[in-house]
Structure 1
Amino acid sequence: MKFNILGSSSLKVSDICLGTMTWGIQNTQQDADAQMAMALDAGVNFIDTAEMYPVPPNADTYGDTERIIGNWIARNQDARNNIVVMTKVAGAGLKYIREGGPITASSLTTALDESLARLHTDYIDVYQLHWPNRVTPHFGKHWPDSTDPTTIDRDKEISGMRNILKGIKAALDAGKIRHWGLSDDTPWGIHAFLRLCAEENVPLPVSIQNEFSLLHAKDWPYLIEMCQCENIAYLPWSPLATGMLSGKYHNGARPEGSRWTLAQRMGLFRDQPAAQSATEQYVHIAENAGITPSQLALAWCQQVPGVTSTIIGATTLKQLSENIAAFDITLSDNTFNDINNVFKAYPMGF
C-alpha cells in the first residue's frame, strides 16, 4: 500500500480511502466489520463517512453509518489512533437534519458533537463541509443551463463562510477535530475559504472530495491544479460512477440489491446515453487488458496527477477485494492510449 501526505497536514493516508455510505442499508454491522478487517489487512488506514449516511438518505436511517463505525471503534479502541477518520456535516435541504437549515457555526457545533457521540471517539481527524450553502454545479447541475452564478449573493455567502469558520476554529481549539476540509465545492469556494482563513487566522482546509471518474472529469485540470498549487488533497468520490463503470448496468440491467434499484434522491441522472456508450468501450478495454472494468477505472483514477487518495466503496467482500487489488495495477501504454481515445470523446458522460 502506498501512502501520501494529506494536503498541508502531517497525516499519512493510504492510496485507498474506504467509503462507507452503504453501511446501514445495503450493508449490516457484520458486513462492515468484515470490510474493515479486509481493508486494514490490506494496509488501508483512511475511512470516510458522513452524518447523513447511509444512502439513499432518509430520516429512519440518518446517522446509522456513523453508529456502525462507532460500534467498531468501541470494540477496537487500540486501533483508533492508527486510522484517519473523516466525516461530514450535512448542508441544507434535508428537513429531518436540523430542519433542513444551512451550515452555520452553531449547526456545525451541534452536528459535530452528535457525530463524535455516534462514532465513539473524542476527535475527528478531518471534518468536512458536505456541500456548500449556495447552489453549486455538482450532482448533475454542472451543465451550462443548470446553474446561474449571477444569482449568487456574494456578500451573503462570504458572511456565511466567515461564520462557518468560527465554528471550525472553535472545534479545532477544543481538540474535537484535528483538521477540516471541503466537499462538493468549486475553485471559487476554495479560493474564498483560503482568503478568509488568512483573515480570520483559521488553519487552512487540508482536503476536498468531489465526484471524479472516467465519466465525470469536470475538475480536471482546473480545480485539481488549484488543489495541487495550494497544497489541498484532492479525494475523488464515486470513481466507479455509482457502479456504472463496473458494467453491471449495461443495457438497462438492474442487478438485485444494487444501488440503482434503490430510490435516488437526485434521480438516476448519471444514466445517460453518452455514459453508457463510454462504459461499453471501457469494458472492452478492460477485457483486452486482462482486468475487470472496475479495476480499469480505479487504476486510471489513481494515476491522475494531483489525486491523493481515492474513495472506494463496496457492498460485498468480493467487490472490495477486487477494488483494492486495482491499486497494484500498472496500466500499459497501449491501455492508456485506448482509454484516452474514449475519454477525449466522452470527457463527461453525464
Structure 2
Amino acid sequence: MTWGGQNSQQQAFEQLDYALSQGINFIDTAEMYSIPPKPETSGSTETIIGNWLSQDPSRRDKVILASKAVGPGINWIREGSPLTKETVKHALEQSLTRLKTDYLDLYQIHWPNRNSPHFGKHWPNRLNLSAVDSAEQTDMMLAILEALDESIKAGKIRACGLSNETPWGINQFLKLSEAHNLARIVSIQNEFNLLHLKDNPYVLETCINEGVSYLPWSPLAGGALTGKYVNGARPNNTRWSMVQRNGLFRDTLHTDKAIIAFKQVADKYKLNLGQMALAYIYQFEGVSSTIIGATSVEQLKQNIQAYSMTLEQEVIDSINQVIKSYPMPF
C-alpha cells in the first residue's frame, strides 16, 4: 500500500521480485491505495502491481492476488457513499483494469457500511451501537454478497472476504450465504499485533469454528513495533511523519511504554524487536497468513526472515507478561 506514495514503481518491482523469489505468493492491495490516501494517488498501487504482472504474464498464476472495495467515507471514491450491489461490481471492474488481470483470487470489503470499532474506535462510548439499524445493514450485506456471488459465477473473482469486521458482521454474512445459497466468506483481515490483540479470542474463535481464514494486517502496528517511533522520534518518509486519515491513533504514552518493554524482552533474548513481534503473531492460534508491508527491500528481507523464527516458550511467556501490563495501549 505504500507503492505509488512512499515508494516508486521501480522500488515496488524490486520488492515484488524479491518476495516472489522467497516463496511469498500472496499480494494484497486495495482500490484506495497508496497511503496515506489522496485523490491523486488513488489506485496507484494496483496500477503498479498490474504493470509488474504485465511484464511477465507467467507471474499471474504464481500469485494469490487480492484487492478490496472501500466502504463509505472516501470522498473522491464514489463520493464517499456506502457500498451497494452496483458499486461493488463497478469497483471490481476498475481494480481488474488497473491490475491488468481477468480475475482476482480474493476480493474483499475493505470496511463495512456501518461504523465499526476499528482504527482506534474500540474504546468505550466511541460508537453508538444502538443507532445502527441492523435490518438495514443486513439488507446491505445481502446486496454486497449477491454482487460477490455473481462475480464469482462470472469468473471475475475466485473467493470473497471481509476486512475490519466484527463477530456480528462475520456471522451475518455467513448466515446470509446459507439462507440464500450465495458464496461464503472465506477470510477476514483485521489489525492484529502486540499492541492490538482485541480480536483474541472472540473474532479468532469465530474464524476457527467457522473455517474463515484470519489475515492480520499491520502486524507491526504501522511500523511502531520496530521501535522507530519511541520517545517521539519521526524518521523521514515513515508513516508517522505523514498526515494520516484516521490520525496517529496508535501514538500514546502507553504505546511508547509497551514498545520499550517489548524491546527489553527482545534485547534479553538477543532478538530483533520487529522480527520478534512478527514471529509472535505468526505462531498465534487461528492466524492463517499475515499481511506485511515494507518501504524497502531491506525491511522486506527482515520481515520475511521472521517466518522461519521459532520463539521459545520462555520468550512467549515474557511477551505475554508485557501484554498483561499493557493490554490495550491505544
When the two structures are superposed, what TM-score results if normalisation uses the length of structure 1? Answer: 0.93
Q: Aligned residues, how many? A: 330
Q: 2: distance between equivalents of 1:275 and 1:200?
A: 44
More displaced 10-residue stretch of structure 1: 213-222 or 337-346: 337-346
Q: 2: distance between equivalents of 1:235 and 1:169?
A: 21
Q: Does residue 50 of structure 2 align to residue 70 of structure 1?
A: yes
For residues 53-202 of structure 1, the aligned pairs below 5 Å read 53-202=33-182
The answer for the alignment partner of 2:255 in structure 1 is 275
Deviation at 1:97? 0.3
The answer for the alignment partner of 2:279 in structure 1 is 299
Q: 2: distance between equivalents of 1:246 and 1:263?
A: 20
| Residues 137-194 of structure 1, C-alpha deviations (whole Å, 9 max, x = no match) | 1111101111121111011101111111121111111100000000000000001000
| Correspondent of 2:246 among 266, 286, 301 | 266
Q: Does residue 20 of structure 2 align to residue 40 of structure 1?
A: yes
| Residues 200-235 of structure 1, C-alpha deviations (whole Å, 9 max, x = no match) | 211211100000000000000110010000000000
The answer for the alignment partner of 1:226 in structure 2 is 206
Greater fraction strand = 1
Q: 2: distance between equivalents of 1:183 and 1:332?
A: 31
Deviation at 1:45? 0.6
Deviation at 1:331? 0.9
Gaps of 5+ in 1: 1-20
| Correspondent of 1:313 among 265, 270, 293 | 293
Q: 2: distance between equivalents of 1:334 and 1:189?
A: 37
Matching residue's letter, 1:311? I
More displaced 10-residue stretch of structure 1: 282-291 or 235-244: 282-291
Query: What percentage of residue pairs aligned between the two structures are identical?
Result: 50
| Correspondent of 1:204 among 180, 184, 187 | 184
Q: 2: distance between equivalents of 1:125 and 1:216?
A: 28
Higher relative CO (Cα under 8 Å, sequence separation at least 6) belongs to 1
Deviation at 1:44? 0.5
The answer for the alignment partner of 1:251 in structure 2 is 231
Matching residue's letter, 2:168? W
Matching residue's letter, 2:254? A
Runs of 4+ in structure 1 displaced over 3 angstroms? none
Secondary structure of the residue aligned to 2:162 is strand
Q: 2: distance between equivalents of 1:169 and 1:327?
A: 34
Q: 2: distance between equivalents of 1:98 and 1:200?
A: 28
For residues 7-46 of structure 1, the aligned pairs below 5 Å read 21-46=1-26
Q: 1: distance between equivalents of 2:291 and 2:193?
A: 11
Q: 1: distance between equivalents of 2:270 and 2:240?
A: 27
Secondary structure of the residue aligned to 1:311 is coil
Deviation at 1:335? 1.1
Secondary structure of the residue aligned to 1:294 is helix
Aligned residues of 2:145 and 2:183 also touching (Cα < 8 A): no
Secondary structure of the residue aligned to 1:211 is coil
Q: 1: distance between equivalents of 2:217 and 2:146?
A: 27
Deviation at 1:73? 0.7
Q: 2: distance between equivalents of 1:314 and 1:290?
A: 23
Gaps of 5+ in 2: none
Deviation at 1:267? 0.5
Secondary structure of the residue aligned to 1:237 is coil
Q: 2: distance between equivalents of 1:117 and 1:270?
A: 35
Secondary structure of the residue aligned to 2:159 is strand
Q: 2: distance between equivalents of 1:307 and 1:28?
A: 31
Q: 2: distance between equivalents of 1:165 and 1:335?
A: 43
Deviation at 1:297? 0.4
Q: 1: distance between equivalents of 2:160 and 2:68?
A: 9
The answer for the alignment partner of 1:285 in structure 2 is 265
Deviation at 1:273? 1.1
Q: Provide the alpha-carbon RMSD of the alignment.
A: 0.7
